[in-house]
Structure 1
Amino acid sequence: MATYAIGDIQGCYDEFRRLLDHIEFDPANDKLWSVGDLVNRGPGSLAVLRWLKALGDNAVVVLGNHDLHLLALAAGNPRQAKKHTMDDVLTAPDRDELLDWLRHRPLLHHSDHKRFAMIHAGLAPQWDLAQARACAQEVEVALRGPGHIDFLNAMYGDQPDQWSDDLSGMERLRFITNCLTRLRWCTADGRLLLHEKSLPGTEPDGVLPWYKVPGRASRETRILFGHWSTLGYIAEHNVWALDTGCVWGGSLTAVSVRRKKPIKVYDLDCTGHQAPG
């Protein structure tokens, strides 16, 4: 039995299936981890959701910002009633089953056996693994509970932008959600810079990738993440970035997740469906 982790699919179903064929993925025996952003921008969001849902316990998916976007859209959040490519999901006969399945995915996965954690975007530099897991579970409870529509209508916003144990209510849930599904850049003291658009290597002084913040509490944890297509594949600082921009004409990346041996990387060139913007 092998375990593979795959970068942001974003509705690129054909490329996704070609990559699985390339790695000779066995749905009956192998495990597939996804860093999230299953949907939107590409043309095959519905097919991606159906395929992963059908994989049952052999699929481990963490939620990304585009997955939350779909759930908010389905919940009637007016801020999300804008251009998207998910009408195939919203009008599907099995829409409710798929959305319910998606809503019950975690925001953080940790495997004691593989000794890896997986998230979509980033972690607050102040969080160690235990605190990150506890924070993720707070959002999961809100998202899976009877008040999930209220949560989906209130989760958008950029404040607060710095962690405090005193945060409570929706402010606390919003901060956690932003870290796990939107974060790229931070200041050295851990303030989130959610609107920083610099390409990696061109960032201003004092702006750091979340995983390079000095003293990051999770630095001893091996972390897989996506969300950052301009970063591409990296393996440094005990993190592995897997979003290689398939939907932009880049590639789709999978890695073989091994407890002791180095990760093996598989890469598939993709045909973009639209230009970044």
Structure 2
Amino acid sequence: MDKVVDTPAAAVADIADGSSIAVGGFGVVGVPEFLIRAIQEQGAKDLEVISNNAGVDGRGLGLLLADNRLRRIIASYVGENKEFARQYLSGELEVELTPQGTLAEKLRAGGAGIPAFYTITGAGTQIAEGGMPWKYDTEGNVVKESPAKETKVFDTFGEEEEYVLEKSLAPDYALVRAAVGDRHGNLVFNSSARNFNPPAAQSARTTIAEVEKLVEPGEIDPDDVHIPGIFVHRVVPLTAEQVADKPIEKRTVREA
């Protein structure tokens, strides 16, 4: 039951080329920075990443982007990263943009064993009709676009509306960051770090969590657990120095 692994490097050692990986975090909050850095050092490439956003230049997934280690990204928000934009528009990176709530549910449903679900989000748009550019060539021509999705009309609350069938996501691995975790893998997330870390942790065949504070089993009140240990396979405790390494996405000051 003790799932603690001493180092990020040991935790990600078996991630192979071509793996699919869900990565938690919201902006720069709750990003598993040290697991990502360990993958950078480990050398895995041609990765498919599922994440709310694509990191920022020089941090998080931005590190793997800079090394051209990502083949494909499924994401909701891709601003704040110039290298991402460059690779996408130059044909080096395939991108599947997905509505934010739909992305979270695709991960959660994958973890719950639900292969697909209907949602009203995206009905009547290119999300349902297809034609969104997934990949460009070096000349800026679209060489791969999203396919049309199955739709169905449901009578909801006395009104017929069109819904879109979305397939769930069940990647090979998930990397998440928790504020507190115990040796059995029970995790607690802090504030907005709870947005995408829990569904990412639920979704994968192997979930690896870096934790800011490691406690013994029983120290976390069961009512406070956000993700139970059944979903988590490896726990990596961070050092005090690593915990303190937290960026500010945008520094702003007010006028005097």
Report the TM-score, using the length of structure 1 for normalisation: 0.34
User: Counting helix residues as a fraction of each chain, which structure ranks higher?
Assistant: 1
State TM-score, norm by structure 2. 0.36
